[in-house]
Amino acid sequence: MEPAANDSESALVTVHPGRPAAGSLAVPGSKSLAQRQLLGAFLASGVSQVDGLPENQDVASLLGALRTLAGAKWGSEGSYPGRPTDGQTSAQVQRILSVGESGTAARLLSGCLALSGAAESPFRIVPQGTLVHRSSAPLVRALRDAGARPVTPKGVTGSWPLSCQPVDCPEQLILRDPQSSQELSALLFALARRGTGVLTVHGAIPSLPYVRLTQAVLATFGVQVVQTGKIFEVRGELVAPVGVVRVEPDASAAAVALAAGCVSGGTVCVPGLDSSSDQGDVRVMEHLRAFGCRAVSEPSGLIAGGHPRRGASLDLQGEPDLAPVLAVVAALACLHSGEPSRLSGLGTLDGKESPRLSGLVESLTRLGWGVRRGPDWLSVESPPSGGADPRRVTDLDPRGDHRMAFAFGLLGMGFEGLRIRDSGCVAKSWPGFWNDLSHLGARVEN
């Protein structure tokens, strides 16, 4: 019953509460890890072995862009030769790189290629879908400060499409007031390709755990990033690792599965992941416990369950991708206990694939919850009067945003009468989501 990846808004699914979620669910591999590992393999000397790449649109988009640079067969047999070239394109011919809707791919490639050396080919990064409306002005300013001259659409500083003739990467890079951790990661990869250098950040660093993830991946490829305050010193040469690089299960997807155990009153295990992961979103375990749910890390994997029994106050500055999932948990905690919850650290949410903070407030309000918001916070303060009305079906629109669709699916497991539009948008990171949600116990109808 899985909808096609490119279905329009007419691709509707209706989610009803079913049995309490139970059992084990293998979630897709981490697209954040996979994209960083693929870029590391592309830039490193030697041949890397990468296993467990998830089959989703974001990873496919980066892989396609790298194959445009390296040759159509790059990585087709699971081996990824570093610094490859197909030997067929003049350095003066512009490479057109389609990155789909992947903000990670767009930012990492923009930073790495713009500072890849004056002898390299010019390039043009082309977005699709929701990425057309997103931007990364701090990254573009940093590239211009470094001597590059990226060209972006007039009137939309830092957006894509982005064209550039590469320049040599200077030893010192400065990033001012970043909007995304991916901007830091892009410049760290550029310095790693150079072999040494220092990145200085002025202003707050958003989603710092994702920077830690980049540091961990670079360490796998032989490059150390030493952080002192907001100064990042890069040391070492990118070299293919000995042995196979494996892609962990995605902690953001795991959070959805684990929350399904909680909102349904069941118990779910996600194998292959534990609380020591470099992925910051494993903090979902801590957050679920704050709502009174059971959440433990066992040798078998991460396990969570039990209805949310109380409200909570959470700071999600380090893991804002968890906000849609935890807003649903907060809403159902309010429904069960009457207690309010507050989520803070959400200042980057409206710059994601959709305006997530606005979308969460709008959707919960439509369903009857009392919700307030500020520029970087959301509070769920009262439940719908009278609870759910099984005779009424409410359409919710994720606006092309996979994480909002996941959240609406979870909400349907605990609140009767939700129909979700544009259901195919989940293909960005989890193409089999609706089937997996049904496997966990939800009643999912086309």
Q: Give the active site residues.
A: 321
Instruction: Tell me the pairing of strands 294-298 and 172-176.
Output: unpaired
Quick one: how far is CA 270 from the chain centroid? 18
Cβ atoms of 40 and 216 within 8 Å: the answer is no
What ranges make up the beta strands (E) of 29-187?
Answer: 47-51, 79-81, 95-98, 123-126, 162-164, 172-176
Return the SS3 of 343.
strand
Closest CA to 393 of 421, 358, 359: 421
Return the SS3 of 310.
coil
Can you read off the two tokens belonging to residue 274?
Answer: 């534990």
Can you read off the two tokens belonging to residue 3?
Answer: 């909808």
Strands ordered across the beta sheet of 79-81? 79-81, 47-51, 244-246
Rounded CA separation 344/374 (Å)? 9
Return the SS3 of 170.
coil
| Residues whose CB is less than 8 angstroms from the CB of residue 64 and which lie 6 or more positions away in sequence, other chains included | 98
Rounded CA separation 99/128 (Å)? 7
